[in-house]
Amino acid sequence: MLGKKLVTAQKRGETRALCLGLGMVTCSMMMYFFIGITIVPFYTKSVWTTETVCKVLKANIKDKVLHQDSEGSEDEDLSPYPCLQVWVNLTASGQEVMLYHTEDTLKRNPQCSYVPGKSENSKEVKARIETIASNFKKYQTFPCYYDPGGTQTNVILSRLYPPKGLFFAFLWPTLMFTGGCLIIVLVKISQYVSVLSAWQ
């Protein structure tokens, strides 16, 4: 009687462990799919792939502008913000080009090097932009990214999804997938050993 209870408990434990392993594998596959349709396209479409050194030539704050995308359409409901324009000397080619914060900055407003969030306070935005301008004037040389193919003549300060960020994005689902597969393999080995012991 006790033996039957132990076997039943063992089978229940194996079933739960198997469900856990399959659940982990399923979740990791869903995470792979989500990363594949969100992060990977932005990473592959970015042409600013080569790192170089930029030297600040001038950093000016121009008149206030509205939030504007690359096609020129403006949102009248948003408050205007000071337009920071940073021009740098690209070490790789010696050209004078405009610097943007990220790839998204150029898309949101090609006139400005930095575009604040849409819901930020105007006073905070002004103070932040002034701080950024003073930092550029203080630290003249810094790493930046440019397009080696020459499609884009401008440069960006940081990539939205660098290779390191993409690696960490895939790290957690990979660990979950590996752990799920390991649990399934261990359960199958346990079942095989149990059957082998019962046959002997």
From residue 149, alpha-carbon distances to 42, 64, 92 in Å are 18, 33, 12
Per residue in 170-190, pLDDT (tens digit) is 999 999 999 999 999 988 888
* Bridge partners, 51 (sequence order): 145
Please compute Rg for the chain using Cα positions: 27
Alpha carbon 89 to chain centroid, angstroms: 27
Residue with tokens 């080619």: 93
Tell me how far apart the alpha carbons of residues 145 and 156 are, in angstroms, rounded to a whole number.
Answer: 5
**pLDDT tier at 66 (50, 70, 90 boundaries)?**
low
Q: Average pLDDT, whole number, for the chain?
A: 82
pLDDT of residue 77: 43
SS3 61: strand
Q: How many CB atoms lie within 10 A of CB 26?
A: 13
- The position carrying tokens 């990473």 is 43
Q: 116: buried, middle or exposed (CB in 10 Å: 19+, 13-18, 0-12)?
A: buried
Q: Which residue has the higher pLDDT, 162 or 73?
A: 162
Give the separation between CA 166 and CA 102, rounded to whole angstroms.
16
Instruction: Tell me what pLDDT residue 2 has.
Output: 43
- For residue 74, pLDDT over 70 is answered with no
Question: Two tokens at 128?
Answer: 């932040």
Strands 81-90 and 155-156: unpaired
Integer Cα distance of 175 and 171 in angstroms: 6
First to last CA, the chain: 21
| Residue 76 in this model has a pLDDT that exceeds 50 | no
pLDDT (average), residues 26-43: 90
- pLDDT > 50? residue 22: yes
Checking if the pLDDT of 60 tops 60, the result is yes
Quote the CA–CA distance of 191 and 197 in Å, as a whole number: 10
Query: Which helix (H) or strand (E) segment is 105 a member of?
Result: helix 103-108
